[in-house]
Amino acid sequence: MLLLLYVFVLAIGGALFVARSGHLLGLIDRPNQRSSHQRPTPKGGGIGILAGFVLAAWALDFPLAFFLPPTLLSIISLYGDKIDLSFKLRLVLQFALAGWFLWAIFPLGEPQPILTYALCGAVMVFIVGSANFYNFMDGINGLAGLTGLAAFGMLAWFCYLEGRAQPLIWFNLSMAVACLGFLPLNLYQAKVFMGDVASVLLGFVFAGMVVKLAQDLTEFVVLASFLFPFYTDELTSMIRRIRRGENLAKAHRSHLYQVLCNEGKREHHSVSMIFFILQLMIGMVALEIKPFGLVPLLLFLGMSFVLWAYLAGQTKKRLLD
């Protein structure tokens, strides 16, 4: 329990520090065509989440090679908060660090998951894709923090239910608490933004935990569903943009959460809470379906995806077209 307190203090302390000193550090997010905010706001407040991640991994005696790759990625992303790094360079670094991370996550005292050498490439794409999806979805107050709270909280609950190693339970709880510690300065009238330093970290570590914990394909799908709203909003937005012939590398504001806030004039925190509740509902239902096997699980998630895509499409058609 003391570990969780320390992690919470680091998270809120890091957010406070950047909120007060971001302008001196050159960490200011100025509104642009992709933004959903109207005034310059300090960014990089998720540095406290990074500190909490490092503390938890160290205190729980995880190997250095487990937390060094995500830490390096987070620091590189913090540097990217100050200057623009080319997307290609970011991808190269992310794939290299994902490979290192995969090599490191297996000596943690758990049975080997579904990973094989033949799947390494696909798993690396999953980890890097999750890191970038999380980053792309960090666009309104409270969304990234609430999503991390729910995702890592459900990972911890899964570990508890399945009798996994205690360090894995406490680690995922620590990540959830780190997100909770960031929220007071971000959920309502944000005084600071999370920034790439934590959004990329959270997506990367979440995906790594999914790979580590999944002992078969059914468990992999269940665990990945804990981030269902992020994956679904990003994928449906990409499909829509491809169909419209848009450049995927170009900044945009066509995610469902952005459309609801910008064109729909919904409060940021209310949209974030809706996503949070849906995330918890879908994740917990997926856990309940797990004993019945992969087919019912895929049917549930597939129908949820189709329903999301339809409702999102109708909303965007009404507000954008």
Token couple for 15: 């957010």
How big is the chain by its Cα radius of gyration, in Å?
Answer: 19
* Closest to 188 (Cα-Cα) out of 141, 257, 258: 141
The DSSP output letter for 250 is S
Q: Do 181 and 308 touch, CB atoms closer than 8 A?
A: no
How far is residue 97's CA from residue 69's CA, in Å, rounded to a whole number?
5
Residue 172 is assigned to a ligand binding site: no
Count CA within 13 A, CB hemisphere, residue 230: 33
How far is residue 90's CA from residue 173's CA, in Å, rounded to a whole number?
29
Residue 115, sorted as left (phi over 0), alpha (psi -120 to 50) or beta, turns out to be: beta
Count CA within 13 A, CB hemisphere, residue 34: 12
What distances in angstroms separate CA 168 from CA 152, 157, 162, 172, one per listed residue? 11, 10, 11, 6
Token couple for 190: 């944000």
Residue 61 is assigned to a ligand binding site: no
How far is residue 86's CA from residue 96's CA, in Å, rounded to a whole number?
16
Binding residues, by number, are 135, 196
Binding residues for Mg(2+), by number, are 135, 196
